[in-house]
Amino acid sequence: MAESLGLDPWDHPEERRRVVGEALARWDEGALKEALWAYLVRHRKKPDRVAPHYVGYFVRWLALKGRRWPHLEAEDPKAFLLEAKERGFPGGERGPLSWGTVERARASLRHLFPFLDWAGHPMPPHVRLPSRQELPVVAPSRAMPEEAYQDLLEKAGAYPLAYWRPLLRVLLVLLGEVGLTVKEAVELWQEDVREKVLLVRGAKLREVPLSPLAREVLADWLPQRAFLAGHQPLPY
C-alpha cells in the first residue's frame, strides 16, 4: 500500500506499526535506530543525532537481560543507566563512565517514549524514565539543555573566522557528546582517532565509541589540522 502510493514507509501508520512491531519482537537494534531517526527528522526542528546511538545500547541491554516486548520492568531505563555508569555500554565503551555521558544517554532515551507512541507501540505505562534529579549526573546549574547544545553547535558552524569552525565543533562534540574532560581532549593525537572509536589516554587507557556526529566533525577537522599544525596534539 505504502509503495503503491509512492510514500515513505515511515509515513504510512500501518506500515511503520508493522515494521516497528517486528523489530521490537526480535530486538532488532538497527531497525529500531532507523525508525527512531525517521521519527526525529519528522518531529524535531533540530533532531538529536546521537539519540539512536544511545537508544541502540538500551535495546541491546534489554536483549541481553532476556526481556520480551512489551514485558519490561518499571525501572529498566534507570537500571540500564546505572549499570552503564559502572560497566559501560553493552558492546561499547567500558566503564566506569562519566556522569556527563550517562546524562547524554538519559536525554536520548526521552525520545523513545513519543517515538513508540508514533509507531503504534506505546511504552508500557509502568515503565518510567528517571529524572535528572534521580541520578547524580551534574548539578542543575551546570547542565546544558539539549536545545542549547544544538544551538551552540550551529553557532560554531557560523563563526566569523571560517578556519576556526571545524575546531570549535570538534571541541564541543568531544566535551559535550563524547564526554571527555578538557585534559583528555587536549592530550589526543591523530593516531588516537580510529575508524569508529577514540583511544583516550586519561587516568587509564580506554576506547570510546564515536557517534556519527563525532566521526563527521573529526573528518572535517583532521585535514585542516594536518595542514595547520601537524606536530601538535588534537585539537590544536
Q: Measure the CA–CA gap between 108 and 59, rounded to whole angstroms.
A: 13
- pLDDT for 208 equals 80
Q: Is the pLDDT of residue 220 over 90?
A: no
Span 52-66, mean pLDDT? 97
Q: Measure the CA–CA gap between 22 and 222, rounded to whole angstroms.
A: 41
Q: Measure the CA–CA gap between 187 and 150, rounded to whole angstroms.
A: 25
Most confident of 121-125, 198-202, 230-234: 121-125
22 vs 219, higher pLDDT: 22
Q: Measure the CA–CA gap between 210 and 2, rounded to whole angstroms.
A: 35
21 vs 150, higher pLDDT: 21
User: Selecting from 1.10.150.120, 2.50.20.20, 3.40.1260.10, 1.10.443.10, what CATH number does the domain 146-229 have?
Assistant: 1.10.443.10
* % of the chain at pLDDT higher than 90: 42
Most confident of 94-98, 132-136, 137-141: 94-98
What distances in angstroms separate CA 228 from CA 159, 187, 190, 233, one per listed residue? 18, 17, 13, 12
- pLDDT for 203 equals 65
Q: Is the pLDDT of residue 179 over 50?
A: yes
- pLDDT for 140 equals 45
Average pLDDT, the chain: 85
User: Please, are residues 19 and 31 in contact by the beta-carbon 8 Å criterion?
Assistant: yes
Q: Is the pLDDT of residue 230 over 70?
A: no
- pLDDT for 42 equals 95
- pLDDT for 229 equals 62
Domain ranges within the chain, ordered by starting residue? 9-134, 146-229
* % of the chain at pLDDT higher than 70: 88
* One-letter identity of residue 143: A
Q: Is the pLDDT of residue 59 over 90?
A: yes
DSSP state for residue 187 in the 8-state scheme: T
The highest-level CATH class for domain 9-134 is: mainly alpha
Q: Which residue has the cell 550551529?
A: 154
Other Cβ atoms less than 10 A from the Cβ of 229: the count is 12
77 vs 150, higher pLDDT: 77
Q: CA-based angle 121:51:148, to the nearest 5?
A: 125
- pLDDT for 29 equals 96
Span 155-181, mean pLDDT? 85
Per-residue pLDDT band at 26 (split at 50, 70, 90): very high
Does the pTM surpass 0.85? The reply is no
Q: Measure the CA–CA gap between 115 and 118, rounded to whole angstroms.
A: 5
Per-residue pLDDT band at 35 (split at 50, 70, 90): very high
